[in-house]
Amino acid sequence: MNDVTNRIQGLIDSNDVVLFMKGTKEMPQCGFSSRVAGVLNYMGVPFQDVDVLSDAEVRQGIKEFSDWPTIPQLYVKGEFVGGCDIITEMTLSGELDQLLSKQGVVFDQAAADKIREANA
């Protein structure tokens, strides 16, 4: 494994939930990153944000690491979950709740329910 792969693996291994995104969770720099970070923030999911705009190696490396062409990318307990469309679908279907629960990740169930009610 090369240096950037080791760095990415280290971030994924040392955090239960990691979002590789454009910008930060406080200041997303693209709509897709904003949507996923917004869902996680609203649901109270503790997560590590990794700003790929501030690190070109990670920006390219994460795409090769996951074999997924777009940013953002969400990892839960070391497992690649998906990008914006997948996370949006999983949130609305309740699959994200199930995954977080199964993995022992704390989140606000009432907030997750509110997202679904607002989008029903």
**Binding site, annotated residues for [2Fe-2S] cluster:** 30
Strands 79-82 and 73-76 come out as antiparallel
CB proximity list for 24: less than 8 A, separation 6 or greater: 49, 51
Binding residues: 30
Helix 3-14, helix 56-66: angle, nearest 10: 80
CA-based nearest residue to 72, from 110, 28, 103: 28
Q: How far apart are the first and last CA of the chain?
A: 45
